[in-house]
Amino acid sequence: MNPAALITGASRGIGRGIALELASLGWDVVINYVSNEPAARRTAADCHAAAQAAGKCIRAEICAADVSQGPDRLRLIEFTRAAFGRLDLLVNNAGVAPRVRADLLETTEESLDHLLQVNLKGPFFLTQLAARWMIQQSRQAGGAGGVRPKIVTISSVSAYTASVNRGEYCLSKAALSMLTLLYASRLAEYGINVYEIRPGIIATDMTGPVKEKYDQLIENGLTPLPRWGTPEDVGKAVGAIARDLLPFSTGEVINVDGGFHIRRL
């Protein structure tokens, strides 16, 4: 039996990169999406191809659900239970940027509420549901092939980098850092390790509108590694966690940012 992963927001971008990496490692995956079913189906097909190329046989299922909504979160967990009967890895990846990049003095309550609902409330309560199930599993037959359950939350360098034209986004990502610490502390007794991955400037649809700006910043030395990050870069970090290469680490932050976090003079 393959271990099973649930990846939110996995039809494209970083979530897609994570799904492809896990599939290549022989994981069954649930590809969560909100509305773009064709993209989700393409990702599922590509997961099968990636697994086949690696000599693996996996299942990739798609499930439409909005993690900001309680009934959808429950349905996503129940879908995973029906599809695979187990959950060995939750990846909280789904997130949104502000609809309008507004100056901090012009930010609206509506925008803040929307981002906190999707980027924070969704992962918080989905993690709660997943953790309860993982605890049940730990009390029963144990992980698939000895795999210990894990939870990964994808945050951002915006967790600690102030951007005054999208302050609500920064707040939501900073809160995810505490979410990781809280759940790492609470779940350690059950052998469930919890991690935060902080991507930097990653080439996705979300960063497309500011590509020229970041091209220039990277060229001028913003990051020690002078290139854009890719969804595959983030996928490899999640893959290392999935392979249990960090067994004595929990509550840990893994930077996937080209060295952006290094303070340099």
Q: How far apart are CA 121 and CA 119, in angstroms?
A: 6
Query: Per-residue pLDDT for 143 more than 60?
Result: no
**pLDDT (0 to 100) of residue 145:** 56
Confirm whether 151 is domain-assigned: yes
Mean pLDDT value of segment 231-245: 98
Q: Which of 17, 253, 246, 264 is nearest to 157 (CA)?
A: 253
Does residue 169 carry a catalytic annotation? yes
Domain membership of residue 243 (yes or no) is: yes
> How large is the average pLDDT for residues 99-103?
93
H-assigned helices in the chain: 13-24, 37-53, 70-84, 109-116, 122-138, 167-187, 211-219, 231-242
* 108 in a structural domain: yes
The answer to whether residue 262 sits within a structural domain is no
| Inside any domain, residue 96 | yes
Chain mean pLDDT for the chain: 95
Residue 133 lies in a domain: yes
Q: Is residue 220 part of a domain?
A: yes
pLDDT tens digits, one per residue of 118-135: 999 999 999 999 999 999
Q: Name the active-site residue from 33, 169, 183, 195.
A: 169
Our count of domains for the chain comes to 1
**Residue 89: per-residue pLDDT:** 98
pLDDT band at 55 (very low <50, low <70, confident <90, very high): very high
* Confidence band, pLDDT 50/70/90 cuts, at residue 229: very high
38 assigned to some structural domain? yes
Reported as a pLDDT band with limits 50, 70 and 90, residue 207 is confident
What span, in angstroms and rounded, lies between the C-alpha atoms of 243 and 231? 18
Q: In this structure, what CATH number is given to the domain that contains residue 75? A: 3.40.50.720
pLDDT of 209 reads: 81
Q: Residue range 84-111: average pLDDT?
A: 96
Closest-CA residue to 223 (of 245, 194, 204, 201):
201
Residues of the domain holding 82: 4-255
Q: List, in order, residues 6 or more apart from 200 with CB less than 8 Å away.
A: 157, 223, 229, 255, 256, 257, 258, 260, 261
pLDDT for the residue numbered 28: 98
Give percent of the chain above pLDDT 70.
98
Q: Give the pLDDT band (50/70/90) at residue 139.
A: confident
Whether the pLDDT of residue 144 is over 90: the answer is no
Residue pair 249/195 in contact (Cβ under 8 Å)? The answer is yes
Q: In whole angstroms, how far apart are CA 66 and each of 35, 62, 83, 147, 174?
A: 9, 13, 19, 28, 21
Residue 138 is predicted with a pLDDT of 85
Residues 6+ apart with CB under 8 A from 238: 18, 21, 22, 91, 152, 197
Flag whether pLDDT at 146 surpasses 90: no
pLDDT of amino acid 172: 98
- pLDDT score for 141: 63
